[in-house]
Amino acid sequence: MSNSKAPMRLRGTLRFGERGAILEGEDGMVWRLETDDDISAHAGSTVLIEGAQRGPYLLELLWIGPAAD
């Protein structure tokens, strides 16, 4: 059996800072997103993401898309 956690699904606003992509979650949490993909088209938008937690506030981005309102 694997010790890895299931991916997290979060909704929030995608922003960019000095250290790269940041998700400001609707729950107030701020996550740094680790990805090699160009996700700049989503900047400033409300998005839904799936990510694998790699640290206390770090997610490896697995998927991103626009959030349904």
**Per-residue confidence band for 68, with pLDDT thresholds at 50, 70 and 90:** confident
Alpha-carbon span 9 to 23, nearest angstrom: 12
Cα angle at 3 between 35 and 22, to 5 degrees?
25
31 CB-contact burial (10 Å; exposed 0-12 / middle 13-18 / buried 19+): buried
Output the pLDDT for position 5: 80
Structural domains present in the chain = 8-66 (2.40.50)
Report yes or no on whether pTM surpasses 0.95.
Answer: no
Output the pLDDT for position 3: 57
**Digit-coded pLDDT (tens) for 20-66:** 999 999 999 999 999 999 999 999 999 999 999 999 999 999 999 99
Output the pLDDT for position 2: 47
Alpha-carbon span 12 to 28, nearest angstrom: 9
Of residues 45, 44, 46, 39, the one with CA closest to residue 63: 39
